[in-house]
Amino acid sequence: MKILAFGASNTKNSINKALASFTATLVPNGEIEVLELDKIDLPLFSTDLEKEIGQPQAARDFFDKIGSADAVIVSFAEHNGSYSAAYKNLFDWASRIDQKVYQGKPTVYLSTSPGPGGAGSVLAAAKGSAPFFGVDLRAAVSVANFHDVYDAETGSITEPKTLADLTAAAEALAAKQAA
């Protein structure tokens, strides 16, 4: 299955990108594409600018990448308790193409931060609003103290409980939806 994975952050060496990418490797028979938000160039959304320029190609490309994937793994960076400005801006543009940005795709929501909170506030916000945006949410996992559980040399999560949670989340993507 085609997995689209990304960190909801434009940090080049994003820990959320690392977490989403690693979790994608845990999906059985996954064919992985990692999307890099730092390479996406978009102006700041406003309805005035939208009237002027319409829908930017970069927002259409993001929407289409979700549309052509079988499943999505996104890991949210937390900035002051909420989404990173880069993700929120991309998401706002994409939501003007269709509010169901995730297009009913089986999706895993993750979040991580270097601290003990594990970006839990932004994950809670994302979970709460998921039904409005066409997310078929299969699992949500917050990973605290990222640098303590991630081995940068191998690019993998080494802490057993976190690894078990991520494995279960990845497997939930491949499972058929409950009736």
Ligand X SMILES: Cc1cc2nc3c(=O)[nH]c(=O)nc-3n(C[C@H](O)[C@H](O)[C@H](O)COP(=O)(O)O)c2cc1C
Q: At its nearest, how many Å lie between ligand X and the CB of residue 100? A: 25
Q: Exposure string (b/e) for 47-69, b if CB count within 10 Å is 16 or more? A: eeeeeeeeebebbeebbeebeeb
Q: At its nearest, how many Å lie between ligand X and the CB of residue 6? A: 10
Grouping H, G, I as helix, E, B as strand and the rest as coil, residue 15 is: helix
Which residues would be at the binding site for ligand X (CB under 6 A)?
Answer: 7, 9, 11, 14-16, 77-81, 113-115, 117, 119
CA 63 vs CA 22, 74, 171, 174: distances in Å = 23, 14, 24, 21
161-14-39 Cα angle (round to 5): 140
C-beta closer to ligand X: residue 103 or 123: 123
Strand partners, 150: 157
C-beta closer to ligand X: residue 14 or 107: 14
Q: At its nearest, how many Å lie between ligand X and the CB of residue 91? A: 15
C-beta closer to ligand X: residue 21 or 103: 21
C-beta closer to ligand X: residue 103 or 140: 140
C-beta closer to ligand X: residue 80 or 177: 80
Q: At its nearest, how many Å lie between ligand X and the CB of residue 34? A: 13
- The Cα–Cα gap between 35 and 169 comes to 19
Q: At its nearest, how many Å lie between ligand X and the CB of residue 98? A: 26
What DSSP state is assigned to residue 44?
A: P
